[in-house]
Structure formats: structure tokens, C-alpha cells
């Protein structure tokens, strides 16, 4: 029997990358998974086959009515909602003076407003249950700034503070809220951002700032999401947990390489 047996989970951004990895891990641990993404994934059938009862739906996290409908369908089908993972997100960046207003709004609406709408949709059920775990997916760039990432960084920093605020607001009714702050994870979104020869030098610099000298895997973020959904994290709330290969530990300049530590 899996360690999430019987728990009912909604995962946004379930079509690829971190969200898909979370769906697979939760399903393997016995959870009932309801995945949500803007587009269908050809891997959804594999998850459904491995974990009967799994549901996948398409929709936009910026659509509050659609998110409410998803929560209502989940409640009607399964009788409860135990966990929410908000993995839906988009990339975006540039210095402020070069970012078109509509691009700023797009990134904020998906990453920050989408997180708010997802949480808002499930909270009435969790409040009535007096239990639940909300797991937001922020970023190391929500903990510390990176050059050229103003709109993305602002959206993820907003997710971190929203997470902490919800932990304060709902802790006394039994709801835990935590953020996972991934480092640079090898997902389709990451690959699209880093594509091309022009990004090769930058990509290598970013890799080396991960103290494990590699990019992360979606499954490694899913492992942290599993912990936060499980009873092992029953006393953990209001935290922004960096799962980043040491990216935020400090700067690396190569001194230890001269000492043979490589």
C-alpha cells in the first residue's frame, strides 16, 4: 500500500515537467490524482493505466470558474480534497523598461494569480474538512533575484509570500501551506528557454552555480512534493523549501577546484 493511499490530490501544470512528475509519484503512492493543464499530454494515459481512478482535465489556471468547476467535480467524484499542488507556470523576463505591459500581466496572471485561484477553489472544502495540504511551486528566483528575470522573479516571490500568508490564515483550521522553490530543473519549459547557441554560455554558468554541478530532475521536485503531502510533514507549514542542488547556498568561484575538489 502506498503512503498516500486514499488521499485526493489536484495537480495543476500536470501536462509536463514537474506537474507530470508529481502526478506519477502521487499515483504510485496510492493517491487519487486529478491533473489539470492547458493542453493534454500523451503521458496521461500511462498514469491512468497505472492508477485507475486518475482524472485529467484541460483548462486555464487563469480561469477562476474553470478551477471552481474542477474542485467541485473532484469533490463530487471522490468526496474530499486532501492536497493541492500548483505546478502550472510560465517563463518570462527582461529588464523592466523593455517588458511590454501585456507580457508582465501574462506572467503574473499564470504564476501568481493562477496560484491564488487554485488555492481559492479548494480552500472551502479543506476548511470544512479541517485538513489539507497546499503545496505551491515557486522558484529559487522567488527567494533571490537573478539578472534579467524581473517579471518571473516578481511572480515567484509573490507565490512565496502568498504561501506564508495562507499558512498563517488557515493553520488553525488544520490546513498546511508550503512552497517548493526548485533550482533550475530539466523540464520542457527549461529546455525551451535555454535552447540555441546564444544561451550555451549562460546555461553553463547557471549549471555551475548549482553546487552539485548539475540541473535538477522533475522527479526530485516530486519527491519533495510527496513529503509535503505525507504525514511525515505534519508539523511543517509556512515554509519555502529550496530544492536546488545548493544554488542558494552561496556563490561558487572555483577556488575549491584548485584544491582538487571536483
| Residue 222 and residue 28 in contact, taking contact as beta carbons nearer than 8 Å | no
- Element of type H or E holding 198: none
| Residue 22 and residue 220 in contact, taking contact as beta carbons nearer than 8 Å | no
Residues 6+ positions from 198 with CB-CB distance below 8 Å? none
| Residue 221 and residue 21 in contact, taking contact as beta carbons nearer than 8 Å | yes
Separation between Cα atoms, residue 105 and residue 113, nearest integer Å: 10
Residues that are catalytic: 152
Separation between Cα atoms, residue 115 and residue 65, nearest integer Å: 14
Residues 6+ positions from 174 with CB-CB distance below 8 Å? 126, 129, 130, 131, 132
Grid coordinates representing 176 are: 498546511
Q: Which residues pair with 180 in a beta bridge?
A: 137, 241
- Element of type H or E holding 8: strand 8-12
Separation between Cα atoms, residue 165 and residue 21, nearest integer Å: 27
Grid coordinates representing 21 are: 512528475
Grid coordinates representing 30 are: 496510492
Residue tagged 472544502 (cell numbers): 125
Neighbour tally for 234: CB within 10 Å: 9
Amino acid at each position: 500500500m502506498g503512503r498516500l493511499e486514499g488521499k485526493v490530490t489536484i495537480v495543476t501544470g500536470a501536462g509536463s515537467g514537474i506537474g507530470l512528475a508529481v502526478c506519477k509519484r502521487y499515483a504510485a503512492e496510492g493517491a487519487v490524482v486529478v491533473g489539470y493543464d492547458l493542453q493534454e499530454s500523451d503521458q496521461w494515459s500511462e498514469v491512468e493505466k497505472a492508477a485507475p481512478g486518475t482524472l485529467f482535465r484541460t483548462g486555464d489556471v487563469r480561469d477562476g470558474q474553470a478551477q471552481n468547476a474542477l474542485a467541485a467535480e473532484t469533490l463530487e467524484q471522490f468526496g474530499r480534497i486532501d492536497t493541492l499542488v500548483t505546478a502550472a507556470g510560465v517563463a518570462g523576463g527582461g529588464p523592466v523598461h523593455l517588458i511590454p505591459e501585456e507580457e508582465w500581466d501574462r506572467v503574473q496572471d499564470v504564476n501568481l494569480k493562477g496560484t491564488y485561484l487554485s488555492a481559492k477553489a479548494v480552500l472551502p472544502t479543506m476548511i470544512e474538512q479541517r485538513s489539507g495540504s497546499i503545496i505551491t511551486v515557486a522558484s529559487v528566483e522567488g527567494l533571490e533575484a537573478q539578472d534579467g528575470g524581473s517579471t518571473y522573479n516578481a511572480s515567484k516571490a509573490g507565490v512565496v509570500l502568498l504561501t506564508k500568508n495562507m499558512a498563517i490564515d488557515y493553520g488553525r483550521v488544520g490546513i498546511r501551506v508550503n512552497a517548493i522553490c526548485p533550482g533550475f530543473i530539466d523540464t520542457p519549459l527549461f529546455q525551451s528557454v535555454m535552447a540555441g547557441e546564444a544561451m550555451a554560455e549562460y546555461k553553463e554558468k547557471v549549471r555551475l552555480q548549482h553546487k552539485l554541478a548539475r540541473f535538477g530532475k522533475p522527479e526530485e521536485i516530486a519527491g519533495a512534493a510527496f513529503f509535503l503531502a505525507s504525514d511525515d510533514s505534519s508539523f511543517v507549514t509556512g515554509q519555502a523549501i529550496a530544492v536546488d542542488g545548493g544554488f542558494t547556498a552561496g556563490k561558487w568561484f572555483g577556488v575549491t577546484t584548485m584544491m582538487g575538489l571536483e
